[in-house]
């Protein structure tokens, strides 16, 4: 059995060792892994590495700069080309590995959310007092009553209107058209409604009271009049909301808003009417997000001809994006590290390598791949986590497509003193990285470019900028401050 197969077997047996023997089992596993290179002393060595820090490679054996252990050799006959690895078919079978193809399929983004019915705030009528007066009678109405158009609300006595009407009738009797027109204009300026003026001209009798009515049918949201009240000009008397349409407002997680658009089809199901479903379309994606729930509200307008939909009801909403073609893999094939997403690419003849991908929409157990893979390639859909662990032990790094790379990564800064320099590694006695909540200590860091170390010597005082990666902290910037501590 080769070193490669033994290590995979150890990975498989790790949960058993931990369960049976606790920390003793873990110590046995580590000591066994360290003892394996001694057994395999033949073959070409590609490089040496520390299994606890596998991304760093060394050209010669020796003690690890990271841990109290010796470097482990990576042999050419272990399979792979330094960026990939070869797994024996029998091991693949024992692991239950399943390989699937990258395909292009028609997918649609489905988002499930909860919505609430509200009033249509465009269908609103406000009733106000046109002139100052007194409330003589309030009809039998109360807030939340459903009323019809022209339903009476209250009777008002407006002294200014009474005087203006009497003046108009007096001038009509002397047959002075110009004066009569002026008197009629004064009625309009006093706020007398046109229908009251028409009734005055038709009957020839002045009215002492004015009955205010609802201009639309709907719900009486407020009624702010009582008998005997004195009203000022412009005082608000009532507010009526129409019920011909209602709004359905849906709280959508902000991470999924980019998949929605105005006009998109929705399906709503109300607990009040089980078995029934309503269809509509997105009318607006509201501009303000909710900071507490991290959601954005989406508005749908629903017709309500029979008034079955009551504002305040809840609804389960399915928002469906238009179907389009996309490159997809099974969602279970993705390895999410928290900082990036990987797949294990199968290259044939038992060869595998990790590849970084950019994941998109997820639907029906499949995930869209925006970058990193091509149609027809094959990935591991089952057993890929053990392969990823083996790749980490071997120091393999994931291939990264240029389109998946991000720029502008924030650097974390600290000052320290160089205690050692070796190849592209810097031993640094540093102060705290405040943005990482990391205390000061002495440790070794890799650098992204060896040219950063030019002109530096042990004992130099430096300021470094590091970035986080899956393998640890890496120095991207280094500035010499002087040799003194």
Q: How many alpha carbons lie under 13 Å from residue 254 in its C-beta half-sphere? A: 10
pLDDT for 139 equals 94
Identify the bridge partners of residue 250 per DSSP, sorted by sequence position: 115, 298
What is the rounded average pLDDT of the residues 366-372? Answer: 84
The CA-atom distances, in angstroms, between 194 and each of 133, 184, 189, 321, 443 are 18, 10, 11, 51, 89
3-state secondary structure of 138: strand
**What's the pLDDT band for 120 if we cut at 50, 70, 90?**
very high
What are the beta bridge partners of residue 147?
218
**Which strand ranges, in their side-by-side order, compose the sheet holding 45-50?**
53-58, 45-50, 72-75
* pLDDT in the model for residue 126: 94
Map residue 359 onto helix, strand or coil.
strand
End-to-end Cα, the chain, rounded Å: 53
CATH topology of domain 412-482: OB fold (Dihydrolipoamide Acetyltransferase, E2P) (2.40.50)
CA–CA gap between residue 434 and residue 192 (Å, rounded): 73
For residue 282, the Cα-to-chain-centroid distance in whole angstroms is: 18
Strands (E), 129-269: 133-138, 146-147, 152-157, 209-213, 218-223, 230-231, 236-241, 245-253, 265-269
The stretch 330-342 carries a mean pLDDT of: 77
| Range 385-424 burial, b when 16+ CB lie within 10 A, else e | ebbbbbbbbbbbbbbbeeebeeeeeeeeebebbbeeeeeb
The architecture of the domain spanning 110-120+246-320 is Beta Barrel (2.40)
Residue 80 burial (10 A CB sphere; 0-12, 13-18, 19+): buried
Q: Among candidates 406, 431, 436, 402, which has minimal Cα distance to 417? A: 431
Residue 62 pLDDT greater than 50, yes or no: yes
User: Among candidates 446, 473, 463, which has minimal Cα distance to 65?
Assistant: 446
| The dihedral sign for the CA sequence 75, 76, 78, 80 | positive
Domains 94-103+326-404 and 110-120+246-320 share a fold: no
pLDDT for residue 142: 92
Q: pLDDT value at position 383? A: 63
Mean pLDDT throughout 364-368? 81
What integer pLDDT is reported at residue 406 of this predicted model? 43
- What is the chain's mean pLDDT, rounded? 77
Q: Reply yes or no on whether the pLDDT at 294 is more than 60.
A: yes
Confidence (pLDDT) at 389: 56
pLDDT of residue 8: 39
Alpha carbons 95 and 388: distance in angstroms, whole number: 13
- Mean pLDDT throughout 108-123? 87
Distance of CA 303 to the CA centre of its chain: 30
Q: pLDDT by residue (tens digit) across 258-275?
A: 778 888 888 899 999 988
Give 474's pLDDT tier (boundaries 50, 70, 90).
confident
Top CATH class of 124-241 equals mainly beta
Where are the domains positioned within the chain?
Answer: 3-82, 94-103+326-404, 110-120+246-320, 124-241, 412-482
Sort strands 278-290 and 133-138 into parallel, antiparallel or unpaired. Answer: unpaired
H or E segment and range at residue 284: strand 278-290
CA–CA gap between residue 267 and residue 302 (Å, rounded): 11
Note the CATH number of domain 94-103+326-404.
2.40.420.20
**pLDDT band of 20, cuts 50, 70, 90:** very low
Does the structure show a pLDDT above 60 at 82? Answer: no
How many other C-beta atoms can be found within 10 angstroms of the C-beta atom of residue 82? 15
3-class state of residue 482 by DSSP: strand
Contact between 366 and 328 under an 8 Å Cβ cutoff? The reply is: yes
């Amino acid at each position: 059995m080769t070193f490669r197969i033994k290590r995979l077997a150890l990975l498989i047996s790790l949960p058993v060792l931990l369960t049976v023997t606790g920390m003793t089992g873990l110590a046995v596993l580590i000591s066994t892994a360290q003892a394996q290179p001694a057994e395999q002393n033949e073959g070409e060595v590609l490089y040496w590495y520390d299994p606890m820090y596998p991304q760093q490679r060394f050209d010669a054996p020796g003690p690890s700069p990271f841990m109290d252990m010796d470097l482990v050799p990576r042999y050419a006959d272990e399979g792979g080309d330094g960026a990939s690895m070869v797994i024996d078919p029998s091991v693949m079978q024992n692991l239950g590995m399943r390989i699937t193809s990258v395909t292009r399929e028609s997918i649609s983004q489905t988002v499930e959310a909860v919505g609430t019915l509200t009033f249509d705030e465009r269908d609103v009528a406000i009733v106000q007092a046109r002139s100052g007066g007194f409330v003589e009678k309030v009809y039998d109405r109360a807030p939340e009553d459903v009323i019809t158009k022209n339903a009476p609300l209250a009777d008002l006595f407006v002294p200014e209107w009474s005087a203006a009407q009497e003046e108009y009738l007096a001038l009509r009797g002397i047959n002075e058209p110009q004066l009569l027109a002026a008197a009629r204009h004064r009625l309009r300026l006093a706020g007398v409604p046109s229908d009251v003026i028409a009734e005055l001209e038709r009957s020839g009798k002045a009215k002492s009271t004015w009955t205010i009515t609802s201009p639309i049918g709907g719900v009486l949201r407020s009624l702010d009049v009582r008998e005997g009240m004195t009203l000022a000009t412009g005082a608000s008397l009532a507010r009526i909301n129409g019920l011909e349409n209602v709004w359905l407002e849906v709280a959508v997680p902000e991470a999924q808003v980019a998949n929605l658009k105005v006009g998109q089809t929705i399906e709503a199901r109300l607990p009040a009417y089980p078995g029934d479903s309503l269809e509509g379309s997105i009318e607006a994606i509201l501009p303000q997000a909710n900071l507490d729930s991290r959601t954005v509200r989406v508005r749908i307008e629903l017709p309500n001809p029979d008034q079955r939909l009551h504002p305040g009801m809840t609804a389960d909403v399915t928002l469906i994006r238009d179907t389009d073609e996309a490159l997809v893999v099974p969602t279970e094939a993705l390895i999410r590290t928290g900082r990036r997403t990987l797949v294990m690419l199968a290259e044939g003849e038992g060869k595998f390598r990790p590849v970084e991908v950019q994941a998109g929409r997820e639907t029906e157990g499949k995930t869209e791949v925006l970058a990193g893979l091509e149609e027809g390639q094959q990935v591991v859909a089952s057993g890929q986590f053990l392969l990823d662990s083996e790749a980490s032990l071997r120091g393999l790094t994931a291939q990264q497509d240029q389109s998946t790379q991000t720029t502008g990564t924030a650097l974390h800064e600290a000052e320290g003193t160089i205690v050692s320099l070796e190849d592209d590694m810097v031993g640094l006695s540093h102060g705290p990285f405040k943005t990482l909540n990391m205390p000061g200590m002495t440790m070794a860091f890799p650098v992204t470019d060896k040219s950063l170390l030019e002109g530096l010597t042990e004992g130099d005082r430096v300021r470094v900028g590091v970035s986080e990666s899956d393998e640890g902290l890496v120095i991207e910037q280094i500035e010499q401050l002087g040799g003194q501590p």
